[in-house]
Structure 1
Amino acid sequence: MPPRLRLIATLSLSQILGWGTTFDMPGVFGRMIAAELSMANETAFAGLTVMMLVTAFAGPTTGRLVERLGAARVLACGSALFGLGLLLMAAATGPILYFAAWLVIGFGSAFGLSVPCYAAVVEREGPDAKRAIGILMIFTGLSATVCWPLLSLGQDWFGWRWTLAVSALIHIGALVPLHLFGLPAIRGATAEATAASQEEPLAFSPAQAKRALLLIAIVSIAFNLVTTGIAPSLIELITQAGATPELALQLGALRSVFGISARAIDTVAGRRASPLFTGYAAAILMLAALPILAFSGGEPWLLLAFVACYGFGSGVSALSRALLPLGFFSPGRYARISANLSLPANLAMAAAPVVSTFLLDRGGATALLVYCAGLCLITLAALAGLSLIRRQVR
């Protein structure tokens, strides 16, 4: 198998299962676990907050470990921690062990998702990493589409506890060795490759570089608040809009299909579509989705239109978040800048599920939609600021 194909295939599988059995999992099991452990729904979803808080504060450590040990070993450690955390959750009888499980999963997320995954690509692809990351994200967006039906099937057959236990064994028994032995070797650096990786796409002044980093951080934060806020509650949100539980599950699973399609289109047009254009498209699509849901009246075709707009928008927003640093800074600085951005971005991901669940349960769908509309407008303003800086430099 060609090295690039093996790289993308290995990381795609690990990211699908990594996201699907952890961050996406409460979308299917969250309210079941809350009922069985006698917790409020927002308390159960606060496990995602614990996960993302740990991920955020472990970010700088992750960067140092990747530099010292290489991304493959860090990813293997992440899979082992995922397995341990899921086993703890399967055994939970109350909030203490439940949140201890999310604490372990949080470290697994820091070592097994996103930053070390993209660092593994940059290690092996260098200046060509942008396109490889785009292709990888096409497949990793399948996490909910693949895992939600499988988790639901596991619940029907075995219950949520045994389903989590089986997921843990997959992480430990399959993904740990896959990361250690399945990734292609890192190619030796050449003088030309090293020079290309250090070439800056824009001649920033120090002040402009700081403003660009700040605005990229705002884009990442706002996108994370919208996408990771809505995603775990998407089925409930569609149900409150008038869908049956079966239709809500089907539409919720389609969200990732639309996201994958959007990423594929963006990747194919990658030489013409900049990360800034991708960001504008994502924000506009998600903003357009909100009134469609608000005025859907439970009509299936309008609910489908909402999921399509939201799915397309959330799909390309992930590409924009990952690739914006490469659009403004050199590939050689990508890992360091991504590590710096991961702290505020992951803090936003930590807060998003609890805030969104609270708004949905206490204020209904309207409160959540107004909140998300405000975040989309903030994103558009930050992207406009980045466009202005780009024009000033050029």
Structure 2
Amino acid sequence: MIYVIPALGFAQIASWGSLYYSFAVLSKPIQAELHLSQPEIFGAFTLAMLTSSLTAPRVGKAIDRFGGKRVLCMGSIAAAAALLAMAGVGNLWTVYLAWALAGLAMPMALYDPAFATLHQIDAARYRRSVSTLTLFGGFASTVFWPLTTFLSGELGWRHTLMVYAVMQLAICLPLHTFVLPRMAGRSATKAAAGASAPGVSLEIARKPFYLLACAFAAAMMVFGALSVHLLTLLQAGGLSVGQAVMVASLIGPMQVTGRVLELAFAKRLSAAKVGWISVGLLAVALTLLACSQGTIWLGIVFACCYGLSNGLLTIVRGLLPAELFPQVPVGSLLGKLARPTQLSMALAPVGFAAVASSGMAFTGRVLLLLCLALLSLGLLIWATQSRSTKRVVANTARQAEA
């Protein structure tokens, strides 16, 4: 395990950086060279997220059947193919095809298969392993935004994507192939067998699972909207361009801070309580933003709360499902939950842009996001405290003892 987490961590930085964060930098030069409109280029990214949401459940089943190691290796190859396809685009349709390929690669290369692999290798240390892995992932934007800016300026966007494709084959694929142990695949078969225990699959399809899925979807709709529109929203609230950039730059370090704090207090708090804190911080952050009205210090406090929330929720999305449904294979569980969350993240930027273009004032836009955050918090508490959830956990505990 001593080498597994760093290997997965460096691969996650490279995969998130090349498949996800590079788009924010490369979208403008791609748009300019191919003469595309902003909705057209952002539509390609939305298509990638939609494709990811549709394929995630099947990828989750593949993880449980074949092991996370094999899926991550295939993800590196698929990511390289998608990045090469992006480098060769020449018109709108090839852009959409390339990003659809990226959407196929995402559920095989990003957090979910890495989380499932850690569970397959050592379920007893799963929580600490996930928290440590997300510390690495938190640096993806910090590394790849400036790296992509530099490479794009020196080599052009096409050669930058080629470099990232080579990175997938020369760094990520060897790390997945040679560092991850074979047991990551063998234990998947045992986990799949455990899923056949009477009543588990029936119970997960009912209220607790859907409440949890809706809670995650509502929260990720907020994060999905702000991941694209935050700078614009901060300026609409009265901050200058420089102030907005400064406030937004605090979010990444606070994500990492949140994950460090989760590691420090993991023994004292359940994953459910960490989830409540995370979504509660999101609601506090949006309340502060609604009241900011150009006040820089309120913007700074907003960024700190928002970054902490984002950092913690990434961990919760990997830990809480396994805590609530311990006898269900983690790959399938995370894959099923990924569909509504990825769908929310895909639709949120477009939906929020429509709301902004309708003329809704700054405060109204923020209050709309706050309502989603409060809805997520209510659903999350309901999902973790309902009698149905407690009955699922009790049943799986009795089956484990038997």
Normalising by the residue count of structure 1, what TM-score does the alignment of the two structures yield?
A: 0.86
Q: Relative to structure 2, which stretch is displaced further, 323-332 or 98-107? A: 323-332
Q: 1:29 to 1:291 in 2, by over 3 A?
A: farther
1:218 alignment partner in structure 2: 214
User: Matches of 1:223 and 1:111 in 2, distance apart?
Assistant: 23
Amino acid at match of 2:53: A
**Higher mean C-alpha deviation, range 314-323 or range 89-98:** 89-98
Match of 2:7 in 1: 10
Cα contact 1:127–1:331 (8 A) shared by 2: no
Question: Which residue of 1 is the match for residue 50 of structure 2?
Answer: 53
Residue identity in the other structure for 2:211: L
2:301 is aligned to 305
| Residue 268 (str. 1) matches residue 264 (str. 2) | yes
Pick one of 83, 87, 91 that aligns with 1:86. Answer: 83
Amino acid at match of 1:66: I
- How high is the sequence identity, in percent, across the aligned residues? 28
* 373 and 42 in structure 1: CA distance in 2 versus 1, 3 angstrom threshold: farther
Corresponding letter in the other structure for 2:320? L
Query: In the alignment, is residue 103 of structure 1 matched against residue 100 of structure 2?
Result: yes
Instruction: Name the structure 1 match of 2:342.
Output: 346
Residues 208 and 23 of structure 1: is their aligned pair in 2 closer, same or farther, counting only changes over 3 Å? Answer: closer
Kept in 2, the 8 Å contact 1:124–1:185? The answer is: no
Gaps of 5+ in 2: 395-402
1:172 Cα offset (Å)? 2.1
Equivalent of 2:276 in 276, 280, 292? 280
Q: How does 1:103-122 map to 2 (within 5 A)?
A: 103-122=100-119
1:51-110 CA-partner distances (Å, limit 9, x unpaired): 122112212321333234321221122122222222222332321111111111011102
Partner of 1:154: 151
- Structure 1 residues 30, 242: closer, same or farther in 2, change over 3 A? farther
Shift of 1:228: 2.2
C-alpha RMSD of the superposition = 3.0
TM-score (norm 2): 0.85
Q: Which residue of 2 aligns with 1:389?
A: 386
**Letter of the 2:251 counterpart:** R
What's the CA shift for 1:346? 2.0
The aligned counterpart of 1:376 is: 373
Matched, 1:290 2:279: no
- What is aligned with 1:334? 330
SS in 2 for 1:92: coil
Match of residue 397 from structure 2? none
CA contact (8 A) 2:279 2:376 kept: yes
DSSP 3-state at the match of 1:39: coil
Change in Cα spacing, 1:359 to 1:42, as seen in structure 2 (3 Å) is farther
Q: Counterparts of 2:111 and 2:222 in 1: how far apart (Å)?
A: 18
Does the aligned pair in 1 maintain the 2:201–2:328 contact within 8 Å?
no
1: CA distance, partners of 2:21 / 2:185: 37
Once the two structures are overlaid, the 10-residue window that deviates more, 239-248 or 139-148, is 239-248
Change (3 A) 1:366 1:171: farther
C-alpha distance after superposition, 1:160-186 (max 9, x if no partner): 333222222211222112211122342
Of 211, 227, 234 in structure 1, the residue corresponding to residue 230 of structure 2 is: 234
Work out the CA distance in 2 between the residues paired with 1:207 and 1:282. Answer: 26
Cα deviation, residue 254, structure 1: 2.8
Cα distance change, pair 24–370 in 1 and its aligned pair in 2 (3 A)? farther
Supply the distance in 1 between the matched residues of 2:45 and 2:210 (Cα, whole angstroms).
25
After the TM superposition, which of the residue ranges 247-256 and 280-289 deviates more from structure 2? 247-256
SS at match of 2:19: coil
**1:67 paired residue among 64, 68, 71:** 64
CA contact (8 A) 1:138 1:260 kept: yes
Matched residue SS, 2:266: coil
Q: Secondary structure at the match of 1:5?
A: coil
Which amino acid is the alignment partner of residue 317 of structure 2? R
Q: Does the C-alpha gap of structure 1 residues 64 and 329 become closer, same or farther in structure 2, counting only changes over 3 Å? A: closer
Confirm or deny: 8 A CA contact 2:60 2:334 kept in the other structure.
no
Asked whether the equivalents of residues 78 and 108 of structure 1 are also in contact (C-alpha less than 8 Å), the reply is: yes
Q: Which residue of 1 aligns with 2:398?
A: none
Letter in 2 for 1:29: L
CA distance in 2, matches of 1:253, 1:134: 22
Looking at structure 2, the residues matched to 188 and 242 of structure 1 have their Cα atoms a distance apart, in angstroms, of: 53
1:118-157 to 2 correspondence within 5 Å?
118-157=115-154
Preserved CA contact (<8 Å) 1:50 1:106: yes
Pairing partner for 2:248 from 246, 252, 257? 252
How many residue pairs get aligned? The number is 384
Unaligned runs of 5+ in 1: none
